[in-house]
Chains A and B, each alone.
Chain A
Amino acid sequence: MARTLGDVLHHFAPELGPTDPRPAASDDAPPPRVVAVALERGDLLRAAVLWNLAVETARAGAACEALVPVGTMTEAPGDAAPLGVGLIAAAPEPGETLADVARQRAAAAPRAGSEQRRVAMVGVQAADAGGLCASVDLALLVCGCDAASRSRAESVGRHLLRSGAPPPGIVIHGAHTLDEARRAFEAVACPLEHVAGEAIPSYGLLVDDLALYRSVVERRPVGLARPQSPAALALADVAALVAADLGLA
């Protein structure tokens, strides 16, 4: 069942152009936190991770949005947005980045209360990630356990570091044991640590890629559809690590 992001992105949420109207922010709450996930064109798995993480963050109490660049969709968008979290295809204006758009949207988004934190999860094309991730609060590399995926993640990580981004966090997916995940993490973190001169943060592991895919097809995030499944527990763990490091917990 080969699917691309373009096949199913319309299930999530509306596509928004650069002129999407939003109410202006009216409070002096802390600025929104922006988390970037590096993805490839048509990268359904990482888009699903992005969306599910955003939903988990919303479940934990934050006002959250998930954005990916326009251009990966082939069909008209839908409007599924559990807990208010859709996967929004957004187009930055010339001279601004998707992170800028996310920050503006998150700052303007209504909140449940003055204490509610605002978070934006942003998918960025790996090729463009360097400049975009320099201004985000956290950049995540979602990395498989196979050699090709590790090599690709390392390459993107080096690109990020060269571009002035903070050391990217690594989420391992497709591991069958904790030891396999640990070895995959260390294989990528070691050379990146050497380049960065500081620690590369770990953000756990995700299991059961099929459940992630299924969540997209069924338009229901894993944490809501199968809250006791291994995939949901792993997602919640990753989201908790992210929230703790961003000071959201």
Chain B
Amino acid sequence: MSRLRPAPLPSPERLRGALRPALAELGRPLRVLAEGVDGISGEIDLVAVDPGGTLVAVLVARDPGEALGLVARGLAERSSLPRRAEDWLKVAPDLGLRAERGVDLLLLAPDFGAAARAAAAEAGRSVQLARLRFAAIDGGAPEPLLESLEAAPPPAEVPRERPRLSVFRSGLGEADLPKSRIASPAGG
């Protein structure tokens, strides 16, 4: 069994370098374009592009107490990026960027409280949260461990009322269904 030893987050520069390969753990291949990009409220830790050409701004909070502020800061930074992306495309048209696809946010923090998660959920599909921890595995060098929070949101944070827009459709009637109850052999 592997042994995990928690480690403090390294300096911002080292952290950004360590995050580059680790971002793939979140299931979305990202190509990092720049580190430490000046933003309107500080530095954007990483600016990346996904295979579809969507620009992704990665921002890191080093303390769980900063998570809610990180969401706000991310939204503020995102507001200015589309215009800058158009400028970058003029300078480097081969970046693979598609400015019309907008900007997604990937926000990393040691943890996100309920308020931060609710704020991110309100911001919609383009904001992804992930827990960031640093740990040494089996005595090796500390490395970042990322855990997406979108995959299993706490039930209280996702409304389970009837969908407002989505409507179940079927041309079948009850008489078209099998008469006997047959257990589904598939768990999935």
Q: Mark A residues whose CB is within 8 Å of B.
A: 40, 43, 45-46, 127, 130-131, 134-135, 144-146, 148-149, 151-152, 155, 158-159, 161-164, 173-178, 181-182, 185-187, 189-205, 207-210, 213, 230, 233-234, 237, 240-241
Contact = CB atoms under 8 A, between A and B. Distances in A.
Given A144-B184, A164-B54, A230 B29 contact: no
The A contact surface, by secondary structure, is helix
B101 interface: yes
Contacts of A178: 170, 172-174, 177
Interface residues of B, number: 45
B178 interface: yes
Interface in B134-180: 150-153, 158-174, 176-178
B3 interface: no
B52 A163 contact: yes
Nearest to A237: B171
B181 interface: yes
Q: Which of A40, A158, A162, A196 has the most CB of B within 10 A?
A: A162
A233 to B, nearest CB: 5
B129 to A, nearest CB: 11
A181 B168 contact: yes
A144 B187 contact: yes
A224 to B, nearest CB: 18
Nearest to A148: B187
22 contacts: A127-B27, A131-B28, A131-B51, A134-B52, A135-B52, A148-B187, A151-B152, A158-B151, A162-B150, A173-B186, A174-B184, A178-B173, A187-B160, A189-B166, A190-B166, A191-B159, A193-B165, A207-B177, A208-B182, A209-B186, A237-B172, A241-B171
Contacts of A210: 182, 185
B28 A163 contact: yes
Contact of A176 (B104, B165, B177): B177
A144 B176 contact: no
A234 B178 CA distance: 10
Contacts, number: 154
A207 B170 CA distance: 12
B181 A176 contact: yes
Contact of A158 (B150, B169, B177, B185): B150
B186 to A, nearest CB: 4
A152 B186 CA distance: 13
Contact of A144 (B51, B153, B161, B186): B186
B166 A237 contact: no
A229 to B, nearest CB: 9
Contact of B28 (A130, A185, A202): A130
Interface string B11-40: 000000000000000011100000000000
